[in-house]
Amino acid sequence: MSERLLVIGGDAAGMSAAAQARRLRTADELEIVVLEQGEDVSYSACGIPYWVGGQVTDRADLIARTPAQFAAADITVRTGTRAEAIDLDAGAVRTAGGERIGYDRLVVATGGRPTRPPIPGLDADGVFGVHRLDDGAAVRAAVAAGARRGLVLGGGYIGLEMAEALQRRGLEVTVVLADPLPMQLLDADMGQRVCDGMVAMGMTVHTDQAVREVLVDAAGRACGVRTDVGSYEADLVVLGLGMGPEARLAADAGLAIGPTGAVDVDRSQRCRDHPEVFAAGDCAQTFHRVTGEVAHVALGTHANKQGRVAGSVIGGRPARFAGVLGTAVTKVGELEIGRTGLCTTQAEQAGFAYRTDVIEGTTRAGYYPGAEDIAVKLVTEAGSGQLLGAQVVGGTGSAKRIDVLATAIWAGMTAEELAGSDLSYAPPFSPTYDPVVVAARAVSRIEQG
């Protein structure tokens, strides 16, 4: 008799776990059933701003695989099926429809929950999250219906990307931040570059202003927001306030929840107190590669890798998740932004004696057409020059340089070692000394006295 793997959640982590388990075990050995409360699986939430902005024209382009394609691989996907409760003792899940589905192995991949503070009016018509494809469709419909003023709450990745998307669609864009600057995982000097870039694009940016109320018109539709400083009108309001773990189902079942609010798992993605249960993706706690401390970082890259680890272990192949650096890139207009490892606040909290260095350069040889300004900031351990974190802000060609820095941090390199590394060069791609190497040399010169 075959075993049953039951997966709760049909996006990155859940479907990666299901697909990897199927690669390793046949349908005769392992039945795989996925419960997804929505109608879409394996979709790119990260692509929603670009669908709203028009760079992606077809909703279907954001869907990697359909339920029918999974069925062809002997993976049963039940969309429109919400898991209501987990009975750990009985090894069963109860759906919202009252059905009980037993399991031998369970993967909890319930994803993230958009941050929604208790602000009056936040649930009004015309206030949009950016979490599912239906959210993107709703924003597109509002723009098509004639919205001319878009207001974005929050200055993280989604906030910036949605601000650009609305501007591309011809809306007048206002961004309201409770924080002093956008991109709080950047240091203030780098965040200021992002803020300046947004203003230069024609966006209005209000910082240090927590929203107290979403204003609604006589029809009950959002028409602006009120802060302690003033009120700002809008035809639609988009929420980009961050993402927390969606771990309520796991917590209600009695699975251990870590200090980050996410499900506590070991490095094989097993729940520590229930080895037949795994958790992966935005609902699961992980650890930071530099500090070793527990962390929660909601990124699709991590979710896919964690799901694959869980699926490998369930399929009989040992695997371990190697941790995170929080490496991420985004753009607003032509300004590209990348970060990895620790910013100075995180380095200080982790107890490092650190130093920072910023260099200015160009993305290509200065004489080559299209050379853009770039700033590279390194956070290193004082004395040893150990790389702890890095940030990049600049024009086209800047952001993906963060991958070189992430790889160096992952490998435990010092600034001096990075300065001597063999990076490529040709005038269309970089100056003779790439800005990454220049930044590392600046650190190593000082550390050597």
User: Which phi and psi (to 5°) does residue 106 adopt?
Assistant: -130, 135
Residue 398 has pLDDT above 80, yes or no: yes
Residue 418 is encoded by which pair of tokens? Answer: 């990075």
Q: Give the pLDDT band of residue 10 (cuts 50, 70, 90).
A: very high
pLDDT value at position 1?
Answer: 63
Percent of the chain with pLDDT over 70: 99
Whether pLDDT at 444 is above 90: no
Tell me the pLDDT tens digit for each residue of 122-154: 999 999 999 999 999 999 999 999 999 999 999
CA distances to 134, 253, 296, 420 from 84, rounded to whole Å, are 22, 10, 24, 55
Is residue 90 pLDDT above 70, yes or no?
yes
Q: Looking at 46, 223, 283, 343, which residue is catalytic?
A: 46
Position 447 scores a pLDDT of: 56
Q: pLDDT category, 445, cuts 50, 70, 90?
A: confident
Nearest to 280 by CA among 8, 69, 76: 8
| 157, pLDDT greater than 70 | yes
Asked if residue 422 has pLDDT above 60, the reply is yes
**Over the stretch 315-368, which tens digit does the pLDDT of each residue have?**
999 999 999 999 999 999 999 999 999 999 999 999 999 999 999 999 999 999
* Residue 62 DSSP one-character state: G
Beta-strand runs (E) in 68-201: 75-79, 83-87, 92-95, 100-102, 105-108, 112-114, 127-128, 149-153, 172-176
What is the pLDDT at residue 446? 63
Residue 195 bears catalytic tag: no
pLDDT of residue 448: 55
- Yes or no: say if 412 and 327 are a contact pair by the CB < 8 Å rule: no
Tens-place pLDDT, residues 170-194: 999 999 999 999 999 999 999 999 9
Average pLDDT value for residue range 82-104: 98
Residue 31 in this model has a pLDDT that exceeds 90: yes
